[in-house]
Each structure stands twice: as C-alpha cells, then as structure tokens.
Homo-oligomer: A and B are copies of this chain.
Amino acid sequence: MAKTTRGPSMHDVAARAGVSHQTVSRVLNGHHSLRPETRDRVLEAIAALGYRRNLAARALVTGRTQTIGMVGPDSAEIGPLSTLHAIEKAAREAGLSTLMTSAEPSREQMVESVEFMMGRGIDALAVVAQQVGITAAIDELNLDVPVVHLLAGDQDVSTFATVDQKAGVRLAMDHLRELGHTRIQHISGPATHGEARSRRAAFENYVAQAGLEVLPVLDGDWTSDSGYEAGKLIDPSATAIFSANDQMAFGVIHALSEAGVRVPHDVSLVGFDNTAEARHCLPPLTTVVQDFGAVGQAAVDLIGGLLQGHDVEPVLVAPSLELRESTAAPRA
C-alpha cells in the first residue's frame, strides 16, 4: 500500500499565493488586518490546491484538539443514544468533532473510558450516564477539562443539561387526574438510575400533595421484561398505571392482556420517552415526550461557554405529553 500521501501544507499555499505562511494562517483564522486582495489570493490558492489545515499540527501547538469526548451507555436505549446523536450534530455545526466511547454502566468502565479519551486529548467531556454516582466518580478524577452531565438524575452537580423530569411526571399525572383517576400505580426504573429515582420521587410527591391513594410502587429495570413481570403484580384496585418508560409499558400491556385486562377500558396507562413503537402498540400509548435534540444542543452550548471561561447555568428542557389511546376515564 502506498505511503500516506501528505496533502499540501501552508507553505505550499503561501508559495502559490506569493505570501508568507503566516499570512495564510491569518486568513484561516479570520484576522482583521488583511488586505482583501491578499485574502482573496490566499483563498484562491487554498481552493486550487485543495488545502486542508492539519489539525494534528494545530493541536500540537495550541494544546487543544477541537474535540469533545462523550461517554455513553453500552446499550441501545433510545434516550441516551438520541442525546449522543444530538451532541454530535450540534458539535459538528460548531466545528468540533466528537470522540465517542460507550461503557458499561460501572464506575470502572466509565472511568476507563474517560481515561482513554483524556489520553487521546479532548477539550471537554460530555457524560451521558444515568447511573447515580457516576457523576461523583467522574468529578473525583479532577479532570482539567470542562465536564457537562446529561440525563443525570442527581442534579446536585454543577453543570448539566437534562429534561425536567419533575415536569414530565406532572404532565402525566395531571392528565390522569383530569380524567378522574385517583388510584394510580407507578412502575419505576432501576433505583441505580438517577432518572428513575427522579421520576419515582416526583410521582410520590405528586400523590402526597394531591391527596391521591397511595399504592405500592413496583420496581422495574427499564426493560419490557421487567414491565411484563410488574404487570402481573398490578393492584386490582388501581385504575391507572404510570410507567417510568415506554418499554416497561409494553411489557405491562402484554401481561395485562394475558390476564384479560383491557387498556384503557379497565385500566389507563401512561409511558415515558415516546419511543418509535409507542405509536403502534395496542393500544397506542400516551406518553411523555423528551426533546433529546434540545438537550444535546444545550450541552454543546454549555461546553462552548465553559471553554471560553464563562460561568454557565444548568439547563432544564421542558417535556411535553403525547396523547394517544391508552388513557381514558376510569370505568367506575
């Protein structure tokens, strides 16, 4: 195989435009003191030669790689993945690239991923982790780059961008209550996940404040399998179920259907996430929508601010509710 062919360098461009390499650099970096004619000549030379700035050289001298690192989960969950996508897109629009690593949600794996990226050189870090404690573990590393947390449930960390979980729960519960439900059961995500804890806490608060009936919370782990199991344990007196995510809601429907319980005729069901399938399960699922694109964009904005040394405010993105056919007024 041929040796890597090196493209033209700044010197080549400079030679063709009849200027010094430094002037080329100035054109590239948008320096103001440049005769338009000179700039044009340089630009013409760049175009003619197909010149592309060598980022390794740039990184070597500036100490910045124009790259933001991302750690995401190993799984194919819709929320984290959409968020990673959104970050990537927003970053690229800002001229930054993204180095992605996925990691099992263990402290060790996460830290290893981060170390790997620090070794490659990144200017900032975006952590897309739902596990409680991950944020703390990463803060302990005392990285010398800005860190932004996404989807973090424990929002005591300084810098994060995430969907407002409390507001999402309120949307779902307001909807059920307006329909007339007072006996609402919650199926929670794993207690190890910050989001699951947030939703559960918000649910319990809501129930207490609204004076609703208190029914035991069923523990799930996000998977439809666990939803299926939880579905078998639904309290017969419950008239509505609020599942902490859509996947589990699917499992619940499966279990209920096997037990001859009809949704929404016998019991109403609300999910969380608005996955692609939510629209076509039976019945189509009413669910809370999270705008992951906005979260990703917010994260990149935060990073941009931090890189310029500004103080930044955490961002909470507002959720919305998608009404479908899995909710109705209670039968009684």
Contacts and interface: CB of A to CB of B under 8 A. Distances in A.
Interface of A: 1-6, 52-57, 59-60, 63-65, 74, 76, 78, 81-82, 85, 88-89, 92, 97-102, 116-121, 144, 223-225, 227-228, 247, 250-251, 253-254, 257, 275-277, 279-282, 284, 306-307, 309
B92 A116 contact: yes
A194 B94 CA distance: 32
A247 B277 contact: yes
B99 A98 contact: yes
A308 B309 CA distance: 43
Contact of A59 (B56, B63, B89, B280): B56
A98 B97 contact: no
Given A76-B82, A85-B74, A224 B102 contact: no
B280 A227 contact: yes
Nearest to A255: B280
A190 to B, nearest CB: 16
B121 A55 contact: yes
A52 B85 CA distance: 29
Nearest to A227: B280
A286 to B, nearest CB: 15
Given A1-B309, A4-B63, 4 more contacts: A76-B78, A76-B276, A225-B279, A275-B277
Nearest to A275: B277
A11 to B, nearest CB: 15
A274 B65 CA distance: 39
A95 to B, nearest CB: 9
Contacts of A100: 88, 98, 100
Contacts of A102: 85, 88-89
A52 B114 CA distance: 14
A230 to B, nearest CB: 12
A4 B121 CA distance: 11
Nearest to A258: B282
A1 B120 CA distance: 22
29 contacts: A2-B144, A3-B63, A5-B144, A6-B63, A52-B118, A52-B119, A54-B121, A55-B120, A56-B57, A56-B59, A57-B60, A60-B60, A76-B85, A85-B102, A88-B101, A89-B102, A92-B116, A97-B99, A97-B117, A98-B99, A99-B99, A225-B280, A228-B280, A247-B276, A247-B277, A253-B282, A254-B281, A275-B277, A277-B277
Contacts of A116: 92, 97
* Max chain B C-beta neighbours (<10 A), residue from A1, A82, A227: A1
* Max chain B C-beta neighbours (<10 A), residue from A54, A225, A228: A54
